[in-house]
Amino acid sequence: MGKASVHWFRHGLRLHDNPALLESIMACEKFYAIFIVDEDETELMGYNRMQFLTESLRNLDAQLRALGGQLYVMKGEPTVIFKILHTEAGMSRLTLEQDCDATWDKHDKVVRRLCEELGVEVVEKMSNTLWEPSKIIEANGGEPPHSYEMFLQVTSTLGMPPRPSPNPEWEDVLFGELTDELATKLGLFPHVPTPEDLGYYPENNELAAFEGGETAALALLQKRLKLEEDAFRDGNILPNQVNPDILGPSLSMSAAIRFGCLSVRKFYWEIQEIYFRLHRGIPPPLHSLTAQLVWREFFYCMAANNPHYNEVSGNPLCIDIPWFRNSENYKAWEEGYTGYPFIDACMRQLRKEGWIHHVCRTAVACFLTRGDLWISWEEGLKVFMKYLIDADWAICSGNWMWVSASAFERQLDSTCCICPVSYGRKIEPTGEYIRRYVPELASLPQEYIHEPWLAPLDVQKASNCILGYNYPHRIVIHEEVSKENKKMMENIKHSLRTRSPHNNHCPSSVREPSLFLWVPQSFHRDTV
Protein backbone atom coordinates (compact mmCIF):
# COMPACT_ATOMS: atom_id res chain seq x y z
CA MET A 1 0.00 0.00 0.00
CA GLY A 2 1.63 3.24 -1.19
CA LYS A 3 1.66 6.51 0.65
CA ALA A 4 -1.38 8.64 -0.07
CA SER A 5 -2.04 12.35 0.10
CA VAL A 6 -5.57 13.49 0.99
CA HIS A 7 -6.85 16.98 0.29
CA TRP A 8 -9.78 17.92 2.52
CA PHE A 9 -11.95 20.43 0.64
CA ARG A 10 -13.86 22.69 3.00
CA HIS A 11 -14.61 26.30 2.04
CA GLY A 12 -12.08 26.51 -0.78
CA LEU A 13 -14.19 24.67 -3.36
CA ARG A 14 -11.95 25.39 -6.35
CA LEU A 15 -8.90 24.18 -8.21
CA HIS A 16 -7.39 27.62 -8.95
CA ASP A 17 -5.37 29.51 -6.31
CA ASN A 18 -5.44 26.61 -3.90
CA PRO A 19 -1.97 26.36 -2.30
CA ALA A 20 -2.95 23.49 -0.01
CA LEU A 21 -4.13 21.49 -3.01
CA LEU A 22 -0.82 22.16 -4.75
CA GLU A 23 1.01 20.75 -1.73
CA SER A 24 -1.23 17.69 -1.77
CA ILE A 25 -0.49 16.62 -5.33
CA MET A 26 3.27 17.17 -5.04
CA ALA A 27 5.36 14.01 -4.76
CA CYS A 28 2.52 11.74 -3.71
CA GLU A 29 1.97 8.15 -4.83
CA LYS A 30 -1.82 8.41 -4.68
CA PHE A 31 -4.11 11.41 -4.35
CA TYR A 32 -7.59 11.55 -2.85
CA ALA A 33 -9.90 14.58 -2.90
CA ILE A 34 -12.56 14.47 -0.19
CA PHE A 35 -15.36 16.56 1.25
CA ILE A 36 -16.94 15.76 4.60
CA VAL A 37 -20.50 16.91 5.23
CA ASP A 38 -20.32 18.82 8.51
CA GLU A 39 -23.61 18.48 10.37
CA ASP A 40 -22.72 21.31 12.76
CA GLU A 41 -22.46 23.73 9.85
CA THR A 42 -25.18 22.42 7.54
CA GLU A 43 -27.87 22.30 10.22
CA LEU A 44 -28.10 26.11 9.97
CA MET A 45 -28.50 26.12 6.20
CA GLY A 46 -31.66 26.75 4.24
CA TYR A 47 -32.39 25.10 0.90
CA ASN A 48 -30.75 27.74 -1.30
CA ARG A 49 -27.47 27.69 0.61
CA MET A 50 -27.40 23.90 0.56
CA GLN A 51 -28.18 23.86 -3.15
CA PHE A 52 -25.30 26.25 -3.84
CA LEU A 53 -22.98 24.04 -1.80
CA THR A 54 -23.99 20.81 -3.52
CA GLU A 55 -23.80 22.45 -6.96
CA SER A 56 -20.28 23.55 -6.09
CA LEU A 57 -19.37 20.00 -5.06
CA ARG A 58 -20.82 18.55 -8.27
CA ASN A 59 -18.83 21.03 -10.33
CA LEU A 60 -15.66 20.16 -8.45
CA ASP A 61 -16.36 16.46 -8.96
CA ALA A 62 -16.96 16.98 -12.69
CA GLN A 63 -13.65 18.81 -13.07
CA LEU A 64 -11.76 16.08 -11.21
CA ARG A 65 -13.45 13.33 -13.22
CA ALA A 66 -12.34 15.04 -16.42
CA LEU A 67 -8.80 14.70 -15.05
CA GLY A 68 -9.22 11.03 -14.21
CA GLY A 69 -10.25 11.26 -10.56
CA GLN A 70 -13.28 12.27 -8.54
CA LEU A 71 -14.42 14.04 -5.39
CA TYR A 72 -15.29 11.65 -2.58
CA VAL A 73 -18.15 13.11 -0.53
CA MET A 74 -18.72 11.42 2.79
CA LYS A 75 -20.62 12.02 5.99
CA GLY A 76 -19.22 11.32 9.43
CA GLU A 77 -16.82 12.43 12.13
CA PRO A 78 -13.58 13.69 10.51
CA THR A 79 -11.31 11.93 13.02
CA VAL A 80 -13.03 8.60 12.36
CA ILE A 81 -12.73 9.10 8.61
CA PHE A 82 -9.05 10.02 8.82
CA LYS A 83 -8.25 6.98 10.98
CA ILE A 84 -9.79 4.75 8.33
CA LEU A 85 -8.02 6.52 5.48
CA HIS A 86 -4.72 6.21 7.31
CA THR A 87 -5.15 2.53 8.11
CA GLU A 88 -6.73 1.29 4.90
CA ALA A 89 -5.77 3.82 2.21
CA GLY A 90 -2.28 4.69 3.42
CA MET A 91 -2.93 8.37 4.14
CA SER A 92 0.40 9.92 5.10
CA ARG A 93 -0.36 13.56 4.32
CA LEU A 94 -3.48 15.65 4.94
CA THR A 95 -3.80 19.06 3.31
CA LEU A 96 -6.50 21.65 3.87
CA GLU A 97 -7.29 25.31 3.52
CA GLN A 98 -6.98 26.84 6.96
CA ASP A 99 -10.15 28.52 8.19
CA CYS A 100 -9.64 31.71 10.16
CA ASP A 101 -13.07 31.57 11.86
CA ALA A 102 -12.62 30.96 15.56
CA THR A 103 -15.46 28.41 15.44
CA TRP A 104 -13.35 25.99 13.40
CA ASP A 105 -10.31 26.12 15.64
CA LYS A 106 -11.44 23.57 18.23
CA HIS A 107 -12.38 21.05 15.52
CA ASP A 108 -9.08 21.51 13.71
CA LYS A 109 -7.10 21.05 16.92
CA VAL A 110 -8.65 17.61 17.36
CA VAL A 111 -7.72 16.67 13.78
CA ARG A 112 -4.15 17.94 14.20
CA ARG A 113 -3.74 15.98 17.41
CA LEU A 114 -5.00 12.79 15.77
CA CYS A 115 -2.69 13.20 12.78
CA GLU A 116 0.26 13.75 15.08
CA GLU A 117 -0.56 10.50 16.87
CA LEU A 118 -0.86 8.66 13.54
CA GLY A 119 2.29 10.17 12.09
CA VAL A 120 0.34 11.92 9.33
CA GLU A 121 1.81 15.17 8.01
CA VAL A 122 -0.69 18.05 8.13
CA VAL A 123 -0.28 20.94 5.69
CA GLU A 124 -2.53 23.97 6.19
CA LYS A 125 -2.53 26.97 3.89
CA MET A 126 -4.49 30.21 4.22
CA SER A 127 -6.08 31.34 0.97
CA ASN A 128 -9.59 32.56 1.81
CA THR A 129 -8.30 35.99 2.89
CA LEU A 130 -5.95 38.54 1.36
CA TRP A 131 -3.68 38.50 4.42
CA GLU A 132 -3.50 35.95 7.21
CA PRO A 133 -5.39 37.38 10.20
CA SER A 134 -2.84 35.84 12.57
CA LYS A 135 -0.03 37.81 10.92
CA ILE A 136 -2.01 41.05 11.17
CA ILE A 137 -2.70 40.42 14.85
CA GLU A 138 0.95 39.58 15.47
CA ALA A 139 2.09 42.74 13.66
CA ASN A 140 -0.30 44.76 15.83
CA GLY A 141 1.16 43.52 19.10
CA GLY A 142 -1.08 40.52 19.67
CA GLU A 143 -4.56 41.97 19.19
CA PRO A 144 -6.67 42.97 16.19
CA PRO A 145 -6.45 46.62 15.06
CA HIS A 146 -9.47 48.37 16.58
CA SER A 147 -9.98 50.86 13.77
CA TYR A 148 -9.95 50.63 10.01
CA GLU A 149 -7.25 53.29 9.82
CA MET A 150 -5.05 51.26 12.16
CA PHE A 151 -5.82 48.14 10.15
CA LEU A 152 -4.58 49.87 6.99
CA GLN A 153 -1.40 50.92 8.77
CA VAL A 154 -0.68 47.40 9.95
CA THR A 155 -1.39 45.77 6.59
CA SER A 156 0.82 48.36 4.87
CA THR A 157 3.75 46.98 6.87
CA LEU A 158 2.94 43.52 5.54
CA GLY A 159 2.95 44.68 1.93
CA MET A 160 0.48 43.97 -0.84
CA PRO A 161 -1.61 40.79 -0.58
CA PRO A 162 0.01 37.69 -2.09
CA ARG A 163 -0.86 36.99 -5.70
CA PRO A 164 -2.81 33.83 -6.53
CA SER A 165 -0.99 30.51 -6.58
CA PRO A 166 -0.39 28.84 -9.96
CA ASN A 167 -2.91 26.33 -11.28
CA PRO A 168 -2.21 22.66 -10.49
CA GLU A 169 -0.43 20.48 -13.04
CA TRP A 170 -2.26 17.18 -13.14
CA GLU A 171 -0.28 15.21 -15.73
CA ASP A 172 1.62 13.04 -13.25
CA VAL A 173 -1.04 12.80 -10.53
CA LEU A 174 -2.24 9.27 -9.78
CA PHE A 175 -5.74 9.36 -8.33
CA GLY A 176 -6.52 6.82 -5.63
CA GLU A 177 -9.64 4.65 -5.71
CA LEU A 178 -11.77 3.33 -2.89
CA THR A 179 -13.11 -0.21 -2.77
CA ASP A 180 -16.82 -0.73 -2.13
CA GLU A 181 -16.01 -2.10 1.33
CA LEU A 182 -13.90 0.91 2.23
CA ALA A 183 -16.49 3.31 0.78
CA THR A 184 -19.09 1.80 3.10
CA LYS A 185 -16.85 2.21 6.13
CA LEU A 186 -16.24 5.86 5.22
CA GLY A 187 -19.92 6.70 4.79
CA LEU A 188 -19.29 7.59 1.14
CA PHE A 189 -22.23 8.88 -0.86
CA PRO A 190 -22.72 6.93 -4.12
CA HIS A 191 -22.77 10.27 -5.90
CA VAL A 192 -22.39 13.91 -4.96
CA PRO A 193 -25.53 14.44 -2.87
CA THR A 194 -28.35 16.79 -3.70
CA PRO A 195 -30.00 18.93 -1.01
CA GLU A 196 -32.79 16.37 -0.91
CA ASP A 197 -30.28 13.56 -0.27
CA LEU A 198 -29.23 15.50 2.82
CA GLY A 199 -32.79 16.12 3.99
CA TYR A 200 -33.29 19.63 2.63
CA TYR A 201 -36.43 20.49 0.67
CA PRO A 202 -37.83 23.74 -0.75
CA GLU A 203 -40.08 25.66 1.62
CA ASN A 204 -40.69 28.93 -0.25
CA ASN A 205 -40.69 27.95 -3.94
CA GLU A 206 -36.95 28.72 -3.87
CA LEU A 207 -35.27 30.00 -7.01
CA ALA A 208 -31.63 30.64 -6.12
CA ALA A 209 -30.07 33.90 -7.27
CA PHE A 210 -26.73 32.23 -8.07
CA GLU A 211 -25.41 29.00 -9.50
CA GLY A 212 -22.81 27.21 -7.43
CA GLY A 213 -19.43 26.00 -8.59
CA GLU A 214 -16.03 27.21 -9.76
CA THR A 215 -16.99 27.13 -13.44
CA ALA A 216 -20.02 29.38 -12.91
CA ALA A 217 -17.99 31.66 -10.62
CA LEU A 218 -15.23 32.20 -13.19
CA ALA A 219 -17.79 32.89 -15.92
CA LEU A 220 -19.55 35.44 -13.70
CA LEU A 221 -16.18 36.97 -12.88
CA GLN A 222 -15.55 37.73 -16.55
CA LYS A 223 -18.85 39.59 -16.78
CA ARG A 224 -18.02 41.47 -13.64
CA LEU A 225 -14.54 42.40 -14.79
CA LYS A 226 -15.96 43.77 -18.05
CA LEU A 227 -18.33 45.95 -16.03
CA GLU A 228 -15.50 47.11 -13.78
CA GLU A 229 -13.30 47.97 -16.74
CA ASP A 230 -16.06 50.00 -18.39
CA ALA A 231 -16.68 51.82 -15.12
CA PHE A 232 -12.97 52.53 -14.58
CA ARG A 233 -12.62 53.79 -18.13
CA ASP A 234 -15.50 56.18 -17.55
CA GLY A 235 -13.93 57.35 -14.29
CA ASN A 236 -16.73 55.84 -12.23
CA ILE A 237 -15.32 53.90 -9.28
CA LEU A 238 -18.60 53.01 -7.56
CA PRO A 239 -21.54 53.79 -9.85
CA ASN A 240 -25.18 53.62 -8.71
CA GLN A 241 -24.24 54.77 -5.23
CA VAL A 242 -27.40 56.77 -4.73
CA ASN A 243 -30.00 54.70 -6.58
CA PRO A 244 -28.92 51.07 -6.73
CA ASP A 245 -30.83 48.77 -9.05
CA ILE A 246 -32.48 46.17 -6.82
CA LEU A 247 -34.64 44.83 -9.64
CA GLY A 248 -31.90 43.77 -12.04
CA PRO A 249 -29.84 40.57 -11.86
CA SER A 250 -26.92 40.78 -9.48
CA LEU A 251 -23.31 40.39 -10.53
CA SER A 252 -22.29 39.89 -6.94
CA MET A 253 -19.29 37.62 -6.37
CA SER A 254 -20.09 37.27 -2.67
CA ALA A 255 -21.54 33.74 -2.75
CA ALA A 256 -18.68 32.45 -4.90
CA ILE A 257 -16.13 33.97 -2.52
CA ARG A 258 -18.01 32.75 0.55
CA PHE A 259 -17.76 29.11 -0.59
CA GLY A 260 -14.34 29.55 -2.11
CA CYS A 261 -15.49 28.85 -5.67
CA LEU A 262 -13.64 32.06 -6.51
CA SER A 263 -10.40 33.09 -4.87
CA VAL A 264 -10.61 36.48 -3.19
CA ARG A 265 -6.97 37.02 -4.15
CA LYS A 266 -7.77 36.39 -7.81
CA PHE A 267 -10.69 38.81 -7.64
CA TYR A 268 -8.60 41.46 -5.88
CA TRP A 269 -5.68 41.25 -8.30
CA GLU A 270 -7.85 41.10 -11.41
CA ILE A 271 -9.54 44.38 -10.36
CA GLN A 272 -6.21 45.87 -9.36
CA GLU A 273 -4.60 45.02 -12.70
CA ILE A 274 -7.46 46.56 -14.68
CA TYR A 275 -7.08 49.81 -12.80
CA PHE A 276 -3.28 49.74 -13.12
CA ARG A 277 -3.56 49.26 -16.86
CA LEU A 278 -6.04 52.08 -17.37
CA HIS A 279 -4.37 54.54 -14.99
CA ARG A 280 -0.67 53.91 -15.63
CA GLY A 281 0.12 51.97 -12.48
CA ILE A 282 -1.77 54.22 -10.05
CA PRO A 283 -3.54 52.11 -7.39
CA PRO A 284 -7.34 52.39 -7.03
CA PRO A 285 -8.62 54.99 -4.52
CA LEU A 286 -9.65 54.03 -1.01
CA HIS A 287 -13.33 53.96 -1.90
CA SER A 288 -12.90 51.48 -4.74
CA LEU A 289 -14.01 47.87 -4.89
CA THR A 290 -10.62 46.54 -3.78
CA ALA A 291 -10.93 48.70 -0.67
CA GLN A 292 -14.23 46.96 0.06
CA LEU A 293 -12.37 43.66 -0.04
CA VAL A 294 -9.98 45.09 2.52
CA TRP A 295 -12.96 45.91 4.75
CA ARG A 296 -13.81 42.20 4.54
CA GLU A 297 -10.34 41.47 5.91
CA PHE A 298 -10.91 43.89 8.78
CA PHE A 299 -14.01 42.00 9.93
CA TYR A 300 -12.25 38.65 9.62
CA CYS A 301 -9.43 39.96 11.75
CA MET A 302 -11.82 41.25 14.42
CA ALA A 303 -13.46 37.81 14.64
CA ALA A 304 -10.34 35.65 14.38
CA ASN A 305 -9.82 34.95 18.10
CA ASN A 306 -13.35 35.57 19.30
CA PRO A 307 -15.49 32.37 19.32
CA HIS A 308 -18.38 34.42 20.80
CA TYR A 309 -18.34 36.97 17.98
CA ASN A 310 -21.84 35.92 16.89
CA GLU A 311 -23.50 36.45 20.24
CA VAL A 312 -23.81 38.94 23.07
CA SER A 313 -22.66 36.77 25.97
CA GLY A 314 -18.91 36.52 26.24
CA ASN A 315 -18.32 38.88 23.33
CA PRO A 316 -15.97 41.69 24.40
CA LEU A 317 -17.02 43.81 21.43
CA CYS A 318 -20.72 43.77 22.12
CA ILE A 319 -22.91 46.00 24.27
CA ASP A 320 -25.52 44.04 26.21
CA ILE A 321 -28.62 45.96 25.12
CA PRO A 322 -31.90 44.97 26.88
CA TRP A 323 -33.76 43.87 23.74
CA PHE A 324 -37.44 42.93 23.70
CA ARG A 325 -38.69 39.39 23.23
CA ASN A 326 -41.70 39.26 20.91
CA SER A 327 -42.09 36.00 19.00
CA GLU A 328 -45.06 37.23 16.97
CA ASN A 329 -43.27 40.31 15.66
CA TYR A 330 -40.14 38.27 15.02
CA LYS A 331 -42.07 35.72 12.98
CA ALA A 332 -43.84 38.46 11.02
CA TRP A 333 -40.46 40.01 10.18
CA GLU A 334 -38.87 36.70 9.17
CA GLU A 335 -41.77 35.68 6.93
CA GLY A 336 -42.37 39.12 5.42
CA TYR A 337 -45.72 40.04 6.94
CA THR A 338 -44.91 43.18 8.92
CA GLY A 339 -47.34 45.40 7.04
CA TYR A 340 -44.45 47.47 5.67
CA PRO A 341 -44.28 46.58 1.96
CA PHE A 342 -40.60 47.33 1.35
CA ILE A 343 -39.49 45.36 4.40
CA ASP A 344 -41.75 42.46 3.47
CA ALA A 345 -40.52 42.45 -0.13
CA CYS A 346 -36.93 42.26 1.08
CA MET A 347 -37.61 39.38 3.45
CA ARG A 348 -39.60 37.42 0.90
CA GLN A 349 -36.89 37.84 -1.71
CA LEU A 350 -34.36 36.64 0.87
CA ARG A 351 -36.35 33.49 1.59
CA LYS A 352 -37.07 32.77 -2.06
CA GLU A 353 -33.76 33.62 -3.76
CA GLY A 354 -31.18 33.43 -0.97
CA TRP A 355 -29.93 36.93 -1.66
CA ILE A 356 -30.94 40.56 -1.24
CA HIS A 357 -29.11 43.76 -2.08
CA HIS A 358 -27.07 45.18 0.77
CA VAL A 359 -29.33 48.25 1.01
CA CYS A 360 -32.18 45.82 1.67
CA ARG A 361 -30.12 44.04 4.31
CA THR A 362 -29.51 47.31 6.05
CA ALA A 363 -33.23 48.17 6.00
CA VAL A 364 -34.47 44.88 7.43
CA ALA A 365 -31.70 44.74 10.04
CA CYS A 366 -32.46 48.23 11.31
CA PHE A 367 -36.20 47.47 11.31
CA LEU A 368 -35.72 44.35 13.45
CA THR A 369 -33.36 45.98 15.95
CA ARG A 370 -33.01 49.62 16.97
CA GLY A 371 -35.31 51.04 14.31
CA ASP A 372 -38.68 49.48 15.04
CA LEU A 373 -39.03 46.08 16.72
CA TRP A 374 -36.16 46.37 19.24
CA ILE A 375 -35.42 42.64 18.89
CA SER A 376 -31.88 41.32 19.35
CA TRP A 377 -29.52 41.21 16.41
CA GLU A 378 -28.72 37.62 17.38
CA GLU A 379 -32.18 36.63 16.18
CA GLY A 380 -31.70 38.43 12.90
CA LEU A 381 -28.32 36.80 12.41
CA LYS A 382 -29.91 33.35 12.66
CA VAL A 383 -32.28 34.18 9.80
CA PHE A 384 -29.52 35.57 7.60
CA MET A 385 -27.27 32.58 8.30
CA LYS A 386 -30.08 30.26 7.24
CA TYR A 387 -31.32 31.96 4.09
CA LEU A 388 -28.45 33.99 2.64
CA ILE A 389 -26.37 31.98 0.19
CA ASP A 390 -23.40 34.25 0.90
CA ALA A 391 -23.87 34.26 4.68
CA ASP A 392 -20.50 34.48 6.38
CA TRP A 393 -20.17 33.94 10.13
CA ALA A 394 -17.64 36.70 10.76
CA ILE A 395 -19.00 39.33 8.39
CA CYS A 396 -22.70 38.82 9.09
CA SER A 397 -22.11 38.91 12.84
CA GLY A 398 -20.06 42.09 12.63
CA ASN A 399 -22.57 43.86 10.44
CA TRP A 400 -25.54 42.89 12.60
CA MET A 401 -23.72 44.30 15.61
CA TRP A 402 -22.93 47.44 13.64
CA VAL A 403 -26.43 48.12 12.30
CA SER A 404 -28.03 47.44 15.67
CA ALA A 405 -25.50 49.76 17.39
CA SER A 406 -24.44 46.86 19.59
CA ALA A 407 -20.75 47.34 18.82
CA PHE A 408 -18.36 49.88 17.34
CA GLU A 409 -19.52 52.54 19.79
CA ARG A 410 -19.34 55.50 17.44
CA GLN A 411 -22.50 54.17 15.83
CA LEU A 412 -24.33 55.12 19.03
CA ASP A 413 -23.82 58.75 18.04
CA SER A 414 -26.08 58.17 15.06
CA THR A 415 -29.48 59.00 16.50
CA CYS A 416 -31.39 58.50 13.26
CA CYS A 417 -32.76 55.19 12.03
CA ILE A 418 -34.07 54.00 8.72
CA CYS A 419 -37.68 54.81 7.89
CA PRO A 420 -39.07 51.68 6.20
CA VAL A 421 -41.30 53.82 3.99
CA SER A 422 -39.15 56.73 2.81
CA TYR A 423 -36.06 54.55 2.51
CA GLY A 424 -37.86 52.03 0.33
CA ARG A 425 -39.39 54.76 -1.80
CA LYS A 426 -35.97 56.34 -2.30
CA ILE A 427 -34.36 53.06 -3.29
CA GLU A 428 -37.12 51.93 -5.64
CA PRO A 429 -39.86 54.57 -6.12
CA THR A 430 -41.91 52.76 -8.78
CA GLY A 431 -43.05 50.00 -6.45
CA GLU A 432 -42.14 47.29 -8.97
CA TYR A 433 -39.89 45.63 -6.42
CA ILE A 434 -42.80 45.39 -3.98
CA ARG A 435 -45.17 44.12 -6.69
CA ARG A 436 -42.69 41.38 -7.62
CA TYR A 437 -42.29 39.98 -4.11
CA VAL A 438 -45.55 41.02 -2.40
CA PRO A 439 -48.05 40.14 -5.14
CA GLU A 440 -51.10 40.84 -2.97
CA LEU A 441 -50.21 44.54 -3.33
CA ALA A 442 -49.62 44.36 -7.07
CA SER A 443 -52.80 46.19 -8.10
CA LEU A 444 -52.48 49.08 -5.66
CA PRO A 445 -51.88 52.48 -7.32
CA GLN A 446 -48.29 53.70 -7.09
CA GLU A 447 -49.11 56.44 -4.57
CA TYR A 448 -50.18 53.77 -2.05
CA ILE A 449 -47.80 50.93 -2.83
CA HIS A 450 -45.32 51.93 -0.11
CA GLU A 451 -48.04 52.95 2.38
CA PRO A 452 -51.13 50.79 1.77
CA TRP A 453 -52.69 51.92 5.06
CA LEU A 454 -53.28 55.31 3.43
CA ALA A 455 -55.39 53.80 0.65
CA PRO A 456 -59.14 54.44 1.08
CA LEU A 457 -61.28 51.35 1.50
CA ASP A 458 -62.77 51.66 -1.99
CA VAL A 459 -59.24 51.69 -3.45
CA GLN A 460 -58.33 48.64 -1.38
CA LYS A 461 -61.40 46.80 -2.64
CA ALA A 462 -60.73 47.77 -6.25
CA SER A 463 -57.17 46.53 -5.86
CA ASN A 464 -58.22 43.24 -4.24
CA CYS A 465 -56.08 44.11 -1.23
CA ILE A 466 -58.03 44.80 1.93
CA LEU A 467 -55.80 45.44 4.91
CA GLY A 468 -56.24 42.89 7.65
CA TYR A 469 -57.56 40.37 5.14
CA ASN A 470 -55.33 40.20 2.04
CA TYR A 471 -52.39 41.97 3.62
CA PRO A 472 -51.65 42.62 7.32
CA HIS A 473 -51.92 45.87 9.20
CA ARG A 474 -48.62 47.31 10.40
CA ILE A 475 -47.34 45.40 13.40
CA VAL A 476 -45.91 48.63 14.81
CA ILE A 477 -46.30 52.32 13.97
CA HIS A 478 -42.84 53.44 12.90
CA GLU A 479 -43.36 57.09 13.80
CA GLU A 480 -44.08 56.09 17.39
CA VAL A 481 -41.75 53.20 18.13
CA SER A 482 -38.73 54.82 16.47
CA LYS A 483 -39.00 57.77 18.88
CA GLU A 484 -39.13 55.42 21.87
CA ASN A 485 -36.23 53.38 20.55
CA LYS A 486 -34.20 56.53 19.99
CA LYS A 487 -34.71 57.50 23.62
CA MET A 488 -33.60 54.06 24.80
CA MET A 489 -30.50 54.22 22.61
CA GLU A 490 -29.64 57.67 23.96
CA ASN A 491 -29.94 56.32 27.52
CA ILE A 492 -27.57 53.50 26.65
CA LYS A 493 -25.14 55.96 25.11
CA HIS A 494 -25.27 58.14 28.21
CA SER A 495 -24.67 55.12 30.44
CA LEU A 496 -21.60 54.14 28.43
CA ARG A 497 -20.22 57.66 28.42
CA THR A 498 -20.39 57.87 32.22
CA ARG A 499 -18.60 54.56 32.74
CA SER A 500 -14.98 54.27 33.59
CA PRO A 501 -13.01 53.78 30.37
CA HIS A 502 -11.63 50.58 31.87
CA ASN A 503 -15.13 49.14 32.13
CA ASN A 504 -16.22 50.13 28.66
CA HIS A 505 -15.78 46.92 26.74
CA CYS A 506 -16.95 48.44 23.46
CA PRO A 507 -13.91 49.90 21.65
CA SER A 508 -14.84 53.46 20.74
CA SER A 509 -11.98 53.69 18.28
CA VAL A 510 -13.71 51.33 15.87
CA ARG A 511 -15.66 53.30 13.33
CA GLU A 512 -18.22 52.20 10.80
CA PRO A 513 -17.51 51.43 7.15
CA SER A 514 -17.91 54.70 5.28
CA LEU A 515 -19.41 53.32 2.09
CA PHE A 516 -21.42 50.27 2.95
CA LEU A 517 -22.64 48.05 5.74
CA TRP A 518 -22.73 44.53 4.45
CA VAL A 519 -19.13 43.99 3.43
CA PRO A 520 -18.95 40.55 1.79
CA GLN A 521 -22.37 40.96 0.23
CA SER A 522 -21.43 44.28 -1.36
CA PHE A 523 -19.24 42.67 -3.99
CA HIS A 524 -21.40 44.05 -6.74
CA ARG A 525 -21.54 47.08 -8.89
CA ASP A 526 -24.52 48.67 -7.14
CA THR A 527 -22.83 49.59 -3.87
CA VAL A 528 -24.13 52.57 -1.93
Domain with residue 61: its CATH number is: 3.40.50.620
**What's the rounded Cα separation, in Å, for the pair 509 and 511?**
6
Least confident of 278-282, 403-407, 432-436, 446-450: 278-282
Domains contained in the chain, number: 2
Q: How sure is the predictor about 284, in pLDDT bands with cuts at 50, 70 and 90?
A: low
Residue 106 pLDDT > 80, yes or no? no
Mean pLDDT of 66-72: 97
Quick check: 140 and 302 in contact, CB under 8 A?
no
Quick check: 90 and 5 in contact, CB under 8 A?
no
Range among 233-247, 394-408, 446-460 with highest mean pLDDT value: 446-460
**What's the rounded Cα separation, in Å, for the pair 142 and 345?**
44
Q: What tens digit of pLDDT does each residue of 311-346 get? A: 999 998 888 899 999 999 999 999 999 999 999 999
Mean pLDDT of the chain: 88
Residue 233's pLDDT is what?
77
Q: Which residue has the higher pLDDT, 299 or 510?
A: 299
Residue 382 pLDDT > 80, yes or no? yes
Domain boundary among 127, 143, 178: 127
Q: Which residue has the higher pLDDT, 195 or 3?
A: 195
Q: Which residue has the higher pLDDT, 167 or 285?
A: 167
Residue 240's pLDDT is what?
44
**What's the rounded Cα separation, in Å, for the pair 368 and 406?**
13
Task: Identify which of 375, 83, 317, 50 has the alpha carbon closest to the alpha carbon of residue 206.
Answer: 50
Instruction: Tell me the H-state helices in 404-477.
Output: 422-427, 432-437, 446-449, 457-462
Residue 123 pLDDT > 70, yes or no? yes
Residue 232's pLDDT is what?
77
Residue 290 pLDDT > 90, yes or no? no
Q: Is residue 525 part of a domain?
A: no
Q: Is residue 49 part of a domain?
A: yes
**What's the rounded Cα separation, in Å, for the pair 265 and 263?**
5
Residue 238 pLDDT > 60, yes or no? no
Q: Is residue 161 part of a domain?
A: no
Mean pLDDT of 5-12: 95
CA dihedral defined by 388, 390, 391, 397, rounded to 10 degrees? -120
Instruction: Give me the residues paired with residue 375 across strands.
Output: 324
Residue 347 pLDDT > 50, yes or no? yes
- Angle (CA) 439-440-441 rounded to 5° is 85
Q: Is residue 467 part of a domain?
A: yes
Residue 48's pLDDT is what?
96
Range among 194-203, 333-342, 392-401 with highest mean pLDDT value: 333-342
Q: Is residue 48 part of a domain?
A: yes
Task: Return the half-sphere exposure (C-beta side, CA atoms, 13 A cut-off) of residue 419.
Answer: 10
Q: Is residue 302 part of a domain?
A: no
Give Cα 490 distance to the centre of its chain: 31
Q: Is residue 2 part of a domain?
A: yes
Quick check: 74 and 189 in contact, CB under 8 A?
yes
* Burial grade of 332 (CB within 10 A; 0-12, 13-18, 19 or more): buried
Residue 239's pLDDT is what?
46
Q: How sure is the predictor about 17, in pLDDT bands with cuts at 50, 70 and 90?
A: very high
CA dihedral defined by 94, 97, 101, 107, rounded to 10 degrees? -10
Q: Which residues contact 148 (CB under 8 A, 6 or more apart)?
A: 295, 298, 510, 511, 513
Instruction: Give me the residues paired with residue 290 across strands.
Output: none
Residue 508's pLDDT is what?
35
Q: What tens digit of pLDDT does each residue of 500-527 get? A: 444 444 433 333 433 333 443 333 333 2
Mean pLDDT of 266-283: 84
**What's the rounded Cα separation, in Å, for the pair 230 and 422?**
32
Helix/strand/coil for 444: coil
**Host domain of residue 492:** 327-515
What's this model's pTM, rounded to 2 decimal places?
Answer: 0.90
Instruction: Tell me the H-state helices in 132-253.
Output: 133-139, 148-158, 180-186, 214-233
Least confident of 41-55, 234-248, 441-455: 234-248
Q: Is residue 86 part of a domain?
A: yes
Q: How sure is the predictor about 386, in pLDDT bands with cuts at 50, 70 and 90?
A: very high
Domain with residue 331: its CATH number is: 1.10.579.10
Domain boundary among 81, 97, 127: 127
Residue 416's pLDDT is what?
65
Give the Å distances, CA to CA, from 208 to 309, 500, 523: 28, 49, 17
Q: Which residue has the higher pLDDT, 35 or 294?
A: 35
Domain boundary among 127, 161, 184: 127
Quick check: 189 and 75 in contact, CB under 8 A?
yes
